Amino acid sequence: KQEVTQIPAALSVPEGENLVLNCSFTDSAIYNLQWFRQDPGKGLTSLLLIQSSQREQTSGRLNASLDKSSGRSTLYIAASQPGDSATYLCAVDEGGAGKSTFGDGTTLTVKP
Amino acid sequence: DAGVTQSPTHLIKTRGQQVTLRCSPKSGHDTVSWYQQALGQGPQFIFQYYEEEERQRGNFPDRFSGHQFPNYSSELNVNALLLGDSALYLCASSNWDGRPHGYTFGSGTRLTVV
Give the separation between CA B114 and CA A42, rounded to whole angstroms: 22
CB A79 within 8 A of CB A16: yes
Residue range A57-96, pLDDT digits in tens: 999 999 999 999 999 999 999 999 999 999 999 999 876 5
Q: What does the pLDDT look like over A27-38, one tens digit per residue? A: 988 888 999 999
Residues B57 and B47 sit within 8 Å (Cβ to Cβ): yes
Q: Which residues are paired to B65 by β-bridges?
A: B77
Q: Backbone phi, then psi, for B88, in 5-degree steps?
A: -95, 125
For residue A41, pLDDT over 90 is answered with no
**CB distance B88 to B108 below 8 Å:** yes
Nearest-Cα distance to chain B for A6, in Å, is 10
* Mean pLDDT confidence for B83-93: 96
The region that residue B9 occupies, defined by phi over 0 for left and psi between -120 and 50 for alpha, beta otherwise, is alpha
Give the other-Cβ count within 10 Å of B99's Cβ.
10
Interchain proximity A105–B99, CB inside 8 Å: no
Longest CA–CA separation in chain B, Å: 42
Chain A neighbors of B94, CB-CB under 8 A: 98
Least confident span in A30-34, B15-19, B44-48, B108-112 = A30-34
B58 three-class SS:
coil
Q: Is A41 on the interface with B (CB under 8 A)?
A: yes
